[in-house]
């Protein structure tokens, strides 16, 4: 009996210590309460959950993404970025002036410049993205940098790998970075093939058994291609045949996704992000040479004048910048917000801002999948709907297939396309990147795509929603309690 009593005392002490750690280390009140509930009411399992996903890595800095070792060079670059951005702020672009606070937020947090003179092409779905990617890779002259969360060894994946091997043999420098969890399918055969051909290949945050939980949890969700420092691709489409909607299979699921092709000065920011990730993964110090950051006026001639800014964040950044950019964009929009996201677990900050926007007269339309690929996530997502519907937000559920796009259009002036879902995992746990285009033409094109998607979606009827069973509402509320952990 004494041993049982001693074990109970030790367990209580352990719970107290872990709870103290949770309170001390977790900044969000909502997440703090969720972790406390898990630790107290799920013996040992709750502790495992917290130590797997709850450690505040913003305090501990998972790694340094420094590209510039020379302080003088870094300060000079920052000065140049500020001067360039201030010049653009003086333009008469209504889109830039309307969202100037948003641009300044990104600039102040990461020194990511707002750039003009970009050529931007909106790519809907894999069948439109991959031909452009293959064409760009074939025309590479100096270097190719690729970074992906999911890269599968299927038809399109092998086609791109074959092309990378061909370019490497031509003398083009090729660097290939893949997430060790999301792209585990290519480890055994394709990675050795690339290495044998002279391609530099490294996994991001390699999974090791001793730290399996954390390494599985903090993933590189970015999808970036940079070619010769002047042409880039970024967005939600991974490398996989399932994103190409021309399959002969009768039961093939339709994948709706969005990507951007960008040519111009904003690609230098994508390059900087890639190099920071590469230096960590490869254990190298890839220096910011001119070949990686060419003078755009000399390397690329275009009449395009799109204004673009790149926002990136992850467990390595001081603040959840992507979450902050969404909050700021929502608060600055006056007329209309069109949001597409495959996973909607926004947290209180974004939820409250959406409610305020809709209640203030801004038309807010949210497009989500008809059903999530996880039953628990599906119930957790639904737990947020009532507050939004009561405020006047229109929620549409996509029926044609699975909508995987992560986009926002604000007031037909700002278009946001990237890798980040509107969920807590993307804000705090994953390494993400979004592109912001301050341009009416691109915003209207993305808006048109959104309204086309609504033709294949059903709107949630408010009265029917309120009439759902009490048991269903209870399940949603219970799932919602654990949504900060998802």
Nearest to 424 by CA among 379, 377, 459: 377
Tell me the average confidence (pLDDT) per consecutive run of 10 residues in the chain, 486 residues long: 77 85 76 80 77 59 52 56 69 80 89 89 97 98 96 95 97 95 90 96 73 60 96 97 80 91 94 90 82 70 80 86 96 97 90 96 96 75 91 96 96 97 88 96 97 97 88 79 61
Residues 300, 231: Cα–Cα separation, whole Å? 9
Reading phi first (left if > 0) and then psi (alpha if -120 to 50, else beta), residue 304 is in beta
DSSP secondary structure string for all residues of 209-267:
GGGHHHHHHS-B---EEEETTTEEEEES--BSGGG-S--S-TTPPPEE-EEEEEESTTH
Contacts of 79 by beta carbon, 8 Å cutoff, 6+ apart: none
Q: Bridge partners of 423?
A: 345
Matching CATH topology for 71-94+117-307 and 321-485? yes
CA–CA gap between residue 126 and residue 437 (Å, rounded): 21
Distance CA 264, CA 299 (A): 9
385 vs 394: CA distance, rounded Å? 10
pLDDT score of 217? 60
Asked if 194 and 161 count as a contact pair (C-beta separation under 8 A), the reply is: yes
CATH classification of 321-485 is 3.30.870.10, yes or no?
yes
CA atoms within 13 A on the CB side of 437: 35
Q: How many C-beta neighbours within 10 Å does residue 34 have? A: 25
Identify whether the C-beta of residue 174 lies closer than 8 Å to the C-beta of residue 167.
Answer: yes
Q: How far apart are CA 305 and CA 418, in angstroms?
A: 20
Please tell me whether the overall predicted TM-score, pTM, comes out greater than 0.95 for this model. Answer: no
CATH class of 71-94+117-307: alpha beta
Residue 319: helix, strand or coil by DSSP? coil
CA dist 472 and 318 (Å) reads 39
Residue with tokens 């990686």: 292
In the chain, where the domains are located: 2-55, 71-94+117-307, 321-485
DSSP H helical ranges for 411-466: 424, 440-454, 462-466
How far apart CA 37 and CA 35 sit, in angstroms, is 5
pLDDT recorded at residue 210: 42
Residues 404/257, Cβ–Cβ less than 8 Å = yes
CA torsion through residues 324, 330, 331, 333, sign:
positive
CB 271 within 8 A of CB 293: yes
Which residues are known catalytic residues? 221, 223, 228, 404, 406, 411
What six digits make up the tokens of 218?
Answer: 């903090």
């Amino acid at each position: 009996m004494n041993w049982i009593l001693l074990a109970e005392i030790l367990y209580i002490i352990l719970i107290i210590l872990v709870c103290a750690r949770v309170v001390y280390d977790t900044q969000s009140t909502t997440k703090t309460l969720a972790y406390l509930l898990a630790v107290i009411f799920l013996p040992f399992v709750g502790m495992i959950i917290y130590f797997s996903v709850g450690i505040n890595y913003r305090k501990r800095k998972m790694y340094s993404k420094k590209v510039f070792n020379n302080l003088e060079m870094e300060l000079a670059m920052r000065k140049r970025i500020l001067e360039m951005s201030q010049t653009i702020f003086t333009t008469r672009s209504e889109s830039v002036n309307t969202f100037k606070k948003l641009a300044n937020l990104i600039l102040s947090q990461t020194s990511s410049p707002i750039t003009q003179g970009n050529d931007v092409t909106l790519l809907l779905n894999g069948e439109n993205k991959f031909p452009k990617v293959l064409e760009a890779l074939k025309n590479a002259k100096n270097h190719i940098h690729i970074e992906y969360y999911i890269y599968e060894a299927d038809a399109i994946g092998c086609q791109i790998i074959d092309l990378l091997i061909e370019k490497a043999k031509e003398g083009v420098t090729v660097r290939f970075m893949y997430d060790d969890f999301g792209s585990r399918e290519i480890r055994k055969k394709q990675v050795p093939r690339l290495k044998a051909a002279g391609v530099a290949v490294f996994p991001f945050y390699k999974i090791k058994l001793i730290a399996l939980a954390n390494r599985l949890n903090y993933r590189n969700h970015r999808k970036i291609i940079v070619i010769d420092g002047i042409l880039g691709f970024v967005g939600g489409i991974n490398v996989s045949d399932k994103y190409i909607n021309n399959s002969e299979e009768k039961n093939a699921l339709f994948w709706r996704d969005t990507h951007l092709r960008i040519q111009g000065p904003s690609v230098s920011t994508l390059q900087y992000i890639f190099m920071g990730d590469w230096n960590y993964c490869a254990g190298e110090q890839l220096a910011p040479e001119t070949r990686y950051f060419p003078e755009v006026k000399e390397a690329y001639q275009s009449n395009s004048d799109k204004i673009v800014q790149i926002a990136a964040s992850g467990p390595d950044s001081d603040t959840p910048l992507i979450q902050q950019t969404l909050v700021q964009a929502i608060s600055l929009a006056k007329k209309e917000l069109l949001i597409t996201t495959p996973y909607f677990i926004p947290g209180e900050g974004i939820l409250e801002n959406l409610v305020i926007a809709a209640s203030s007269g801004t038309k807010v339309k949210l497009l989500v999948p008809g059903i999530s690929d996880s039953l628990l996530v599906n119930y957790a997502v639904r737990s947020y709907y009532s507050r939004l519907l009561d405020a006047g937000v229109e929620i549409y559920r996509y029926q044609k297939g699975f909508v995987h796009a992560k986009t926002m259009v604000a007031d037909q002036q700002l278009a946001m396309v990237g890798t980040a879902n509107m969920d807590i995992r993307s804000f705090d746990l994953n390494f993400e990147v979004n592109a912001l285009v301050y341009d009416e033409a691109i915003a209207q094109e993305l808006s048109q795509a959104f309204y086309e998607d609504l033709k294949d979606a059903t709107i949630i009827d408010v009265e029917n929603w309120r009439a759902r069973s009490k048991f269903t509402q209870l399940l949603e509320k219970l799932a919602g309690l654990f949504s900060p952990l998802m």
